[in-house]
Amino acid sequence: MAFRRKWASEAQGEWKVHWINGATFKFELEGQGLTDSVVEEWGPWMDTQFELRFPDGNWPSLTAAKLSFSHNDIGDHGIQTIVDYLNRRKISVQLIKFFKNSIGDAGAWAIGELLANSPEPVQEVHLSHNRIGNEGACAIFEAIARSKRYPYKTSDRNSRGIMPVWLRMEYNFIHWGNIAPRLEQHKVSWIAADSRENWVPKDTAAPMVCMHHSYKNQTPAESSSSGQGRESAASRKASEGQWDEHGVIYAGRFRVAARSGGFSFLSRVVCIPFSRYLEPDQPRRGRAELTRLIFAAGQVPFEDERVSRQEQQRRKSSGELPFGQFPTLSVDGRVFAQSYSIAKYAAKLAGLLSSDHLAALEAEGVVDMTEDVRSKFVPIRYLPVPPEAKLAKYEEFFTTTLP
């Protein structure tokens, strides 16, 4: 099943799922210049492939024998998008490769969540030649220890019946000596070897993690800061209310909350609870972006809130989210949902909505019209049809629907 993406000039190439057996597959897309924005299309596209494979809608337990996104330009947000999809679809991952990308501590935290939550233990993770610092490395190791799943049982290539997860993390910005006490505190056991099969038991016990002997080879330019310089600058901007590449960050009575795992550009400018994950070079827009721009244009003070996956699920289960949805707007303790309703309210506060009822009606009509266009245009890219049929749908849209 192949699909050639013609509209993304930075990552043109063929996306193809290779099925090994009934429910096991591999997907490789190396050296295609993939960015976070392109990665957003991967999950919906994978859904179309599974729908074609299992047309009755009864998806079996799926296993990714190999996922390779190496030699691209994927950052933290892209990694979170991929991991969120895998966890949401409960896809087991055996081997995943992200070496030579732009992954920082937030992306490493997401990888830790994958290691902890994959239906079956992950066997290999390749993260060399990225931008992971001390915090990111600790997040991965602590997730492994917390999950109590490693070493994992196996019958492949190992008479001992157990294997540590094979982890490649050389050429990042990690000070292993600095984080060793922290790993020891969390009772993380690990060892170095030439290959994943040639590890030697440590103190007669199998370790949780086995890394290549080259793990000590780290990128020296920023290893002394381990990303902390970037964190401090971002945190300073947030606390002082300065403008940055994204716009002004306010502290006020209005709070816009969005999912940390994706769908909101607002999640880029928050300090609590993951301020160390602020990265100004990975913008992502979503349904909450319109409200942020309106507040910024009208100089209305507000607070952007980043919500972790755990907190998101807690709010959903506790009934705190209207309709169980993000983004939300909190005003004096009251929480509201639906992005366009929030945007219209924000426009009133910002003085952008006319007091003339007919003029306001005309403006709201334009807003609703844009949603009509979006709802007809976006789904076309995910249709499970050949490229020629999809092109015909686009031509129909631009010649018939849009005019």
Q: What is the pLDDT of residues 200-244, one digit of tens each?
A: 776 667 889 999 999 999 987 543 443 333 333 333 333 333 322
Task: Report the alpha-carbon distance of residue 350 to residue 140 in Å, rounded.
Answer: 43
- In which band, very low, low, confident or very high, does the pLDDT at 156 lie, cut at 50, 70 and 90? low
Over range 248-253, report the average pLDDT.
Answer: 30
Residue 370 burial by CB count (10 A; 0-12/13-18/19+): exposed, middle or buried?
exposed
DSSP, collapsed to helix, strand or coil, labels residue 28 as strand
Output the pLDDT for position 305. Answer: 72
Under CATH, domain 2-223 is a member of which superfamily? Answer: Ribonuclease Inhibitor (3.80.10.10)
Predicted confidence (pLDDT) per residue in 72-131, tens digit: 999 988 999 999 999 999 999 999 999 999 999 889 989 999 999 999 999 999 999 999
Task: Report the alpha-carbon distance of residue 291 to residue 295 in Å, rounded.
Answer: 6
Task: Report the alpha-carbon distance of residue 123 to residue 199 in Å, rounded.
Answer: 14
Residues 6+ positions from 72 with CB-CB distance below 8 Å: 11, 29, 30, 31, 32, 33, 34, 35, 100, 101
Over range 301-314, report the average pLDDT.
Answer: 73
For the cut 50, the answer to whether the pLDDT of residue 313 exceeds it is: yes
Over range 156-164, report the average pLDDT.
Answer: 68
Topology agreement, domain 2-223 and domain 228-349: no
Over range 366-386, report the average pLDDT.
Answer: 77
**Average pLDDT of the chain to the nearest whole number:** 76
Output the pLDDT for position 160. Answer: 63
Output b/e per residue, 330-344; b: 16+ Cβ within 10 A.
Answer: beeeeeebbbeebbb
Contact 164, 217 (CB under 8 A): no
The answer to whether the bond into 207 is cis (omega within 30° of 0) is: no
Residue extents of the structural domains in the chain = 2-223, 228-349, 357-401
CATH class of domain segment(s) 228-349: alpha beta
Output the pLDDT for position 115. Answer: 95
